[in-house]
């Protein structure tokens, strides 16, 4: 019984002109590559690069432009792909001239919308690390205006585009991905509610539910998120996984660096404790609490146990609903 089989995974398509940064985004977010190493990524000529990240909560595909994707090619079944897609991320290189990218964006969005009006359209204005803050805002305003003008000219104002400023050299790419993924999780309000209940009953200040592989947070309680806390969580996940990979796995027994037993406690020098625990095979809970509150660890662990059970039920229920819908459709 796997509540995270591919049926319920949010499906994401990453598109954009060649060299806009798609492979780099994939490598940095899902394969822990360091941003500098992406300088040496080789260009590929494949139309579609599927990421079979079985280990992640998210599943996604990459498509290249231009040339490789021809919407008029009858052998290329884009309709089927758009139908199964939850979010389409279009990457625009902000350090390059973006006229061609904007026209591709328009073509793609209008095609995809016709096939599946429920897709979320997400535009990453990428490689903004080289730009000053003023420049970033100016670029975003310009791209936003042009893309929406194109839609208005085609009388398609009802298509909504969301914009994000991203770079692989900081956490902005993880933050943008987190927002894109969160929009695709119908259970999000329930998850937030469960997190709120869990933290208020356990004396915890902040809690995040993380996809361990990508370090995307798929939910948090309703108190505001500050970037520093988020970055600390990412660092903690890295430490736990790296140490487990290097010293935790024995060569003769096949195992995963992340399993049911996975947990970690880090005492920071400002009387705060960070507490990480496994929730499902993809997800971990990372909490921040005061040292005094951590003295009641037994209570926290008991509440956590209830929280974990509730999460499993939420996803299991959704799977059942989806299966039933499918059966009804087939009748």
* Residue with smaller CB distance to ligand GDP, 20 or 293: 20
CA nearest neighbour of 95 among 142, 140, 135, 128: 128
Nearer to ligand GDP, 10 or 16 (CB): 16
| Shortest Å distance, C-beta 16 to ligand GDP | 6
Sort residue 203 into left (φ over 0), alpha (ψ -120 to 50) or beta.
Answer: left
CB of 112 to ligand GDP, least distance (A): 18
Provide the minimum distance between the beta carbon of 296 and ligand GDP in the complex, in angstroms, as a whole number: 43
- Alpha carbons 191 and 187: distance in angstroms, whole number: 6
Whether 250 contacts 242, CB under 8 Å: no
Nearest approach, Cβ of residue 23 and ligand GDP (Å): 3
* Phi, psi (deg, nearest 5) at residue 162: -110, 145
Output 23 or 303, the one with its CB closest to ligand GDP. 23
Q: Which of 39, 327 has the CB closer to ligand GDP? A: 39
Where is 177: in which H helix or E strand?
Answer: helix 172-183
Q: Which residues bind ligand GDP (CB under 6 A)?
A: 16, 18-24, 38-39, 41, 43, 126-127, 129-130, 167-169
Q: How many whole angstroms separate alpha carbon 310 and alpha carbon 195?
A: 10
Peptide linkage before 293 cis (omega within 30 of 0):
no
Name the residue nearer to ligand GDP (CB basis): 202 or 214. 214
Beta carbon nearer to ligand GDP, 49 or 111: 49
In the complex, least distance from residue 45 CB atom to ligand GDP, rounded to whole angstroms: 10
Give strand pairing partners of 59: 11
Q: Which stretch of DSSP H or E encloses residue 219?
A: strand 216-220
Min dist CB 185 to ligand GDP, Å, is 26
Compute the distance between CA of residue 41 and CA of residue 27 in angstroms, rounded to an integer.
9
């Amino acid at each position: 019984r796997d509540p995270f089989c591919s049926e319920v995974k949010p499906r994401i398509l990453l598109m954009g002109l060649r060299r806009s940064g798609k492979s780099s985004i994939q490598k940095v977010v899902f394969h822990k590559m360091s941003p500098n190493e992406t300088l040496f990524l080789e260009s590929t000529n494949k139309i579609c690069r599927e990421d079979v990240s079985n280990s992640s909560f998210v599943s996604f595909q990459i498509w290249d432009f231009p040339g490789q994707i021809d919407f008029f090619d009858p052998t290329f079944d884009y309709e089927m792909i758009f139908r199964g897609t939850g979010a389409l991320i279009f990457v625009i290189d902000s350090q390059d001239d973006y006229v061609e990218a904007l026209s591709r964006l328009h073509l793609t969005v209008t095609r995809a919308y016709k096939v599946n009006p429920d897709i979320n359209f997400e535009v990453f204005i990428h490689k903004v690390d080289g730009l000053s803050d003023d420049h970033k805002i100016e670029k975003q305003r310009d791209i936003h205006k042009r893309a929406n003008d194109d839609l208005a000219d085609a009388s398609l104002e009802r298509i909504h585009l969301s914009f994000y400023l991203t770079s692989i050299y900081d956490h902005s790419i993880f933050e943008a991905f987190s927002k894109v993924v969160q929009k695709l999780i119908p259970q999000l309000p329930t998850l937030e509610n469960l997190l709120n209940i869990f933290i208020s009953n356990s004396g915890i200040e902040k809690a995040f539910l993380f996809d361990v592989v990508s370090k995307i947070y798929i939910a948090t309680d309703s108190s505001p998120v500050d970037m520093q806390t988020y970055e600390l969580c990412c660092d903690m996940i890295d430490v736990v996984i790296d140490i487990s990979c290097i010293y935790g796995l024995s060569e003769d027994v096949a195992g995963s660096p992340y399993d049911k037993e996975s947990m970690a406690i880090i005492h920071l020098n400002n009387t705060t404790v960070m507490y990480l625990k496994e929730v499902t095979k993809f997800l971990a809970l990372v909490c921040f609490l005061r040292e005094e509150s951590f003295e009641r660890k037994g209570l926290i662990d008991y509440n956590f146990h209830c929280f974990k059970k509730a999460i499993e039920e939420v996803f299991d229920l959704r799977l059942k609903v989806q299966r039933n819908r499918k059966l009804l459709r087939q009748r």
